[in-house]
Structure 1
């Protein structure tokens, strides 16, 4: 039996299923499968594959890490629901980690994380040593209107193009998404961490029906 904590982390907030298995400080299995749909059907078989590759059973897990977005509305719900269910059934903590946190994991100094959004937009969050500012959903052409200081490190989708315009520096994430989620989950105080919840920065694509509901006659 391993003495190191075992963290399983996964994310379906974009067009992928991503998972990583962390034993102490070592990644013992990781996988990313690109897919535009089908995450709900693929997630648990992928997790089973990851556990088998790492020689780990469900009962060995000490913590769950899950990506909470922002991103695809349905994909985020799939992962968060799975993490909550696993935490309950295995009696282990589940830690929600935003894509902003994962992108900026282990980066020195203040940074700005960029997550792609539909219709030429981006989710943006300024991360500082004192904490993070509220995330925003903006049009890419309006990014120069953000009131941000010069000299920041930019990371994520489009950082190479945007950073020079904002007098900053572009960099790559220090780790793949699921691995970063696992590492952040490992060092988070589970006693104070809230239950994972989706991070939505725009309304769901599904719209309510326009027709009025039928009257119920007693």
Structure 2
């Protein structure tokens, strides 16, 4: 299966195209904003590098959050539009799951949600030990201690350093974003379903009158 993977949820724009387990092309750029302007040109470049036409794609995978509200919407909208144009499935992948896929064993994916909170999900050998959640730092540290029980652990994501004291000796990794190669692999392995953003809390910004954007 030829799959296009996309990530725009965090502080990077990442694109990859895979054929089965083979990575045909991959590109990633660190950026806090500007995903909307860079995503389409990056996809075109990666497809050209892979030597593929868009009609050869069989599936699209995109991270759906949690993360930047603007960024994740860029990726979801692009994946939906391209999937519709090509009449192929567009599949959502959680950002925490995609981060955790970069390591084996016991992995805690943690994204700094600001306001002394973390987006957290813990996995063991690819299996989720908890659903993705947004938690106060103290609660997140206690949940992590409960699930890890002192075992060797990888902490990954922008929130990983905030949990380092609660998991002494953990392997701490802070990539700018999710690796689109893992997004594509995860998307290829699951059944297609509705592609919807994963919001674990309301946006900080408000429109006039107190409405969410």
Same fold (TM over 0.5): yes
Instruction: State how 1:58-69 maps to structure 2 within 5 Å.
Output: 58-69=54-65
For residue 199 of structure 1, what is the aligned residue in structure 2?
198
- 1:94 shift after superposition: 1.2
Q: Counterpart in 2 of 1:154? A: 154
- Tell me the SS of whatever aligns to 2:74: helix
Counterpart Cα distance in 2 of 1:17 and 1:160: 22
Partner of 1:38 in structure 2?
34
CA distance in 2, matches of 1:131, 1:143: 16
Q: Which runs of 5+ in 1 are unaligned?
A: 213-218
Structure number with the bigger relative contact order (C-alpha 8 A, sep ≥ 6) is: 2
SS of 1:92's partner is: coil
Please tell me whether the aligned partners of residues 121 and 128 of structure 2 are also in contact (alpha carbons under 8 angstroms).
no
In structure 2, stretches of 5+ residues that fail to align are: none
**Aligned equivalents of 2:205, 2:164: Cα separation in 1:** 34
RMSD: 2.7
Structural mapping, 1:165-184, within 5 Å = 165-166=166-167, 169-170=170-171, 177-184=179-186
In 2, distance between residues paired with 1:120 and 1:32? 29
Judge conservation of contact 1:104–1:111 (CA < 8 Å) in 2: yes
1:6 to 2, 24, 32: 2
**Larger Rg over CA atoms:** 1
Secondary structure of the residue aligned to 1:148 is helix
Residues 113 and 36 of structure 1, relative CA distance in 2, 3 Å threshold: closer
Partners of 2:147 and 2:4 in 1: CA distance? 35
Contact 2:111 2:160 in 1 (8 A): no
Q: SS at 2:75's partner residue? A: helix
Q: Kindly indicate whether residue 49 of structure 2 is the aligned counterpart of residue 53 of structure 1.
A: yes
Aligned with residue 19 of structure 2, among 14, 18, 23? 23
Structure 2 residue corresponding to 1:74, chosen from 48, 70, 75: 70
Contact 1:16–1:32, Cα closer than 8 Å, also in 2: yes
TM value normalised by structure 2: 0.82
27-36 vs 118-127, which moves further: 118-127
- SS of 1:162's equivalent in the other structure is helix
> In 2, distance between residues paired with 1:141 and 1:107?
24
CA distance in 1 between partners of 2:168 and 2:31 (Å):
35
For residues 74-132 of structure 1, the C-alpha deviation after alignment (integer angstroms, 9 at most, x for no partner) is 11111111111111111111111111211222744443211232245321112257644
Aligned to 1:95: 91
